[in-house]
Amino acid sequence: MRPKVKNLDPNIAQPMHEQLRCILEDQIRTGQLTNGEKLLSEHALCKQYGVSRVTVRQALAKLSESGLVVRKSGMGTFVQQRTDGPAPGVTPMQVIGLVISNMHGEFMPLIIKGIEQATRKAGYEFIVRITHDSVEEEKKSLHDLIARRVSGILLFTVNPASEFNSNCMDYLKVVEAGIPMIFIDRLIPQLPVGYVVADDESGMKELTEHVLACGYQKIGYIHHISPVSSIVAREKGFISALVNHGVKLNQHYVVTVGLRNEKTKTDIKLAEETIAAFLQKSDDLPDVFVAENTDYAVGAFNAIKAFGLSVPNDIALAAMGDLPEARVLEVPLTVYDTPVEGMGYHAASELLKLIKGRLVCSTEITVHLPGHLVVRDSCPPLQKVHVGA
């Protein structure tokens, strides 16, 4: 029995030969085309999918390169024995696509660990697409997963350059294709797509209130400007805590870190350079820096130390996120521990519910996961700092 024919779409960015490759690969990996089975002839594939012979040959060449088919002269193209097919117990089409922006630091591996725990329990595999912080790569990844007809998609979006995310129409195409999708650590209220996020606003508010309770008044903030929901929420929590305690934010103490580029590979290094520049030009320093994330705090720690100052005696530090870097510093960081692994697990669990219920989307999936405060040596009560100094 031949697989059901899926139409190619000439109006999307993904080339026609790549769309055809994805469809044929999906048919092989899900068992619709079995080991040793002969594929349709080039002429028949051209007719079935409405493409040229050049397009068909390009698609078959890619499949041959990946070891999924073997081309026998004078006989045709055959599915060959595969060693990387579905795991035992995984039925056809039990595959989830995960699209992530990068693999910098420890954040994303923890997200993936949580997803893997949930999907393994349900008998699903997942494939990962890394977009390298590129809007275009994200678009291509989504189109690829649509063509593969995966069971569902988990999406950690690229940071948009403005409040308008240019890929919003592509997110809608996923929904229109009948594929369930859940956002991870992101929410876009205008779209009919559920999300699982950390409760960043409450977390940052609690962290900042702890800093204030320790007696600090000259409070600095290390952040980067972005319309991403998690970043906006953290800034709201920070400001809310200051307002509630009648503390006015000195804009001089607000340090803005730029985005990663080819020369600066990590957020830690970028924050270190930014804080170093701030220390060199400023005669008025804050008593404490509250950092938007762990990487920024680690970068600040390195810069403060290199400048000849110490944490916490000269400048205290507190940050959102309890990634491993926070715990292994010379002076361990006071943090608000966000449930990173939990976000991955809950996002995958919610997606699996949609798949099981044959639902494409649900705006009722709005999960805000709480974290907890972890007090360490980088931000002690201000009186103890003065005594120690």
124-136 pLDDT, tens digit each: 988 899 998 888 9
Cβ(201)–Cβ(237) below 8 Å: yes
Q: What percent of the chain lies above the pLDDT cut of 90? A: 55
Q: Would you give the DSSP letter of residue 38?
A: B
User: Matching CATH topology for 16-79 and 200-338+373-388?
Assistant: no
Between residues 262 and 270, which one has the greater pLDDT?
270
The total number of residues written for the chain in this structure: 389
What is the CATH topology of the domain spanning 16-79?
Answer: Arc Repressor Mutant, subunit A (1.10.10)
- We find that the CATH architecture of domain 95-198+340-370 is 3-Layer(aba) Sandwich (3.40)
Cβ(348)–Cβ(156) below 8 Å: no
CA 157, 162, 165, 167 dihedral sign is negative
Residue 237 in 3-state DSSP? helix
Cβ(146)–Cβ(26) below 8 Å: no
Strands of the sheet with 219-223, listed across from one edge: 254-256, 219-223, 288-291, 316-320, 334-337, 372-374
pLDDT value at residue 194: 93
Domain 200-338+373-388 has CATH 3.40.50.2300: yes
CA 185 to CA 54: how far, in whole Å? 42
What global pTM score does this model have?
0.74
Domain residue ranges of the chain, discontinuous segments joined by +: 16-79, 95-198+340-370, 200-338+373-388
pLDDT value at residue 261: 63
pLDDT value at residue 262: 53
